[in-house]
Structure 1
Amino acid sequence: MFAVATSAVVARPSPDRALTLNPPKESLRDVDFAVLPSSSIEPATNAKRFSQGLPPMSPRKPYPKSGTRVAFAPRSKASPSLPIRKRCNILVKEVDVNGTVFGFVSAAWNILGEYGPVQPSQNGSLEISFSYSVDSLAHINLLAVNGPSAKYPFIGGTLGFVSTNNDLSPGSYNYFYITGTTQTPHGSPPVEGDNNWFGDATGIPKAAESAIWTYDPVTNYLSPQWVNTDGSTPTNYLIYANDFNNAFVVTGDPVVFRETFGTPYPGVTFTCVPPKDA
């Protein structure tokens, strides 16, 4: 059973301020994300494409000189499994014996560029697209087909406002938001830069990762997996901040997280549900 704190917790960064999951609304900047330039959604190399379950780029045609004998190249290793393209909406359920259903992830962000709003109907909810293969089920990029911004088209992770560093671990309340991001290198640790809407919306620079998802084709679960700065992959726990924050967050220790923020936020799962027109 998860521990729940009922009193305010003193912020470690400042002894005079209680920890809050998100920055104050006063920190928001006036940015129209709908007019921001689009970001690339295609991996640039075959290695990256294979790692994401995508087919290789079209090869360049060789033009050997006439009469020149071309030695046979050694046989290459077996090709990776054929990629499978998947489209779905995301159903949110509580991790409990009853599997309480919260609804479908909305195509709209909250005001900080975080995914969190949900809706009861599958129609019009967030639709995602991704590729995977049976030998590549991790480090997947989820593309928001009907997302709010073409500049941040991926559903990735951005470090939390009061996280003490870029790593998740047992014993730490550190967390990241599920946000709109650009594409970061496959399997890389957190990347600094202009790569997430949270930073644009608040002016607070935070590192992000896009290829954080693992897909289970048996259960249809989509599970987050953060890569720490040292390359380690701690156990991740997906949590729904279903109060005024209205955000999905991920932590490495849900007990410490709940104690720190004094909230009984529920643990949840993401299930990939085929669109009704599929």
Structure 2
Amino acid sequence: MMHSLSGFSVLALLLGLLVCAAPGPRSCDTELCGSKFLPTRNLVGDSLFERHDPKAELSPRVPSHCHHLPNRKSDDSGVPYCAVIQVLRKDNGASLGYISKNTFFQAQYRVQPDISDAVVVNFTVHNVHKTHTGVDLLTVNSDIPNYFYLGLVQGRDDVTSILHAGSYQYAYIANTNPTPPDSPPQNVGNSYTQATGRQRTSESAVWTLDVSAGTITPVWTNPDGTQPPIQIFLQSTAVYISGDAGQFNARYPAPITFITLKLVTQ
């Protein structure tokens, strides 16, 4: 009888060990969790809304060092503009904050709620009442060293530089060396590669601007020259573009928020 009880106890112990060894639920399902250079402990619950006061955004002001704005008029002189980039929910237009000068470890951009933390960009257009494509945005106050063009950088887990429907592949908003408008992705050097040592392609002149309407949209050019429809969204506070946000979200199942971008120039 004692031998039987002992055998039962051993079996129970083994079952207990198997249960303990079984993997539990993942603590973080964001794309950022795969970045070894980023601390994951702060990503869970890193909500855009914890410190956001909507009343503070009723009359946004560009930081004081952004003082050389020309007036909004038809202008053929090509005088540089200065602005910050506001992030809005696509479904209802609510403000979520601004593209921040305080990046993730000088690698990729994030969103923070206060305009005082916004990255300032310079750009030149010759007529504020037209839509301009292939525009370069130069960052003024980002914490990223060595690279100053706000562009798009191939995602960490991408196996190619191709974005399209049906693929999880994605790109970051980050800083890069310059590339020509409509250029395919190139190995010209960028902030993500600098921070991680992982070779990634990038593009700089990717921005479509309607200065009069205040809208700004990124455009990705594939290696074959095609420019696929893309979606722009947040996961946690990181900014991404993808040809298929659903496939991205299936791979990284933390919630995503679709967004639009707006220039704030005064």
Q: How far apart in 2 are the matches of 1:124 and 1:111?
A: 15
| Aligned: 1:190 with 2:181 | no
- Output the TM-score relative to the length of structure 1: 0.66
- Whether the aligned pair in 2 keeps the contact of 1:168 and 1:228 (CA below 8 Å) is yes
Assess, with a 3 A threshold, how the Cα gap between structure 1 residues 163 and 142 changes in structure 2: closer, same or farther.
same
* Partner in structure 2 of residue 226 of structure 1: 220
Alignment of 1:106-121 (within 5 A): 106-111=100-105, 113-120=107-114
| Aligned: 1:235 with 2:235 | no
Assess, with a 3 A threshold, how the Cα gap between structure 1 residues 133 and 235 changes in structure 2: closer, same or farther.
farther
* Partner in structure 2 of residue 89 of structure 1: 84
Assess, with a 3 A threshold, how the Cα gap between structure 1 residues 267 and 203 changes in structure 2: closer, same or farther.
same
Alignment of 1:148-163 (within 5 A): 148-163=143-158
Question: Residues 37-91 of structure 1, C-alpha deviation per residue, up to 9 Å, x if partnerless?
Answer: xxxxxxxxxxxxxxxxxxxxxxxxxxxxxxxxxxxxxxxxxxxx65353211111
Question: Residues 133-188 of structure 1, C-alpha deviation per residue, up to 9 Å, x if partnerless?
Answer: 35771111111111123411111111001113101111111100001111122321
* Greater Rg over alpha carbons, structure: 2
- Output the TM-score relative to the length of structure 2: 0.69
Structure 2 unaligned runs (5+)? 1-27, 39-75
The one-letter code sitting in structure 2 at the alignment partner of 1:263 is A
Identity of aligned residues (%): 27
Q: How far apart in 1 are the matches of 2:213 and 2:158?
A: 31
Choose which of 252, 257, 260 in structure 2 pairs with 1:266.
Answer: 257
Assess, with a 3 A threshold, how the Cα gap between structure 1 residues 251 and 25 changes in structure 2: closer, same or farther.
closer
| Aligned: 1:125 with 2:118 | yes
CA shift at 1:113, angstroms? 1.2
- Whether the aligned pair in 1 keeps the contact of 2:220 and 2:227 (CA below 8 Å) is yes
Q: How far apart in 1 are the matches of 2:257 and 2:34?
A: 23
* Partner in structure 2 of residue 21 of structure 1: 31
Structure 1 unaligned runs (5+)? 1-17, 29-80
Assess, with a 3 A threshold, how the Cα gap between structure 1 residues 25 and 260 changes in structure 2: closer, same or farther.
closer
* Partner in structure 1 of residue 98 of structure 2: 104
Q: What RMSD in Å do the two structures reach over aligned CA positions?
A: 2.3
Choose which of 130, 137, 140 in structure 2 pairs with 1:142.
Answer: 137
The one-letter code sitting in structure 1 at the alignment partner of 2:31 is L
The answer to which structure, 1 or 2, has the higher relative contact order (CA under 8 A, 6+ apart) is: 1
* Partner in structure 1 of residue 245 of structure 2: 254
Aligned residue pair count: 200
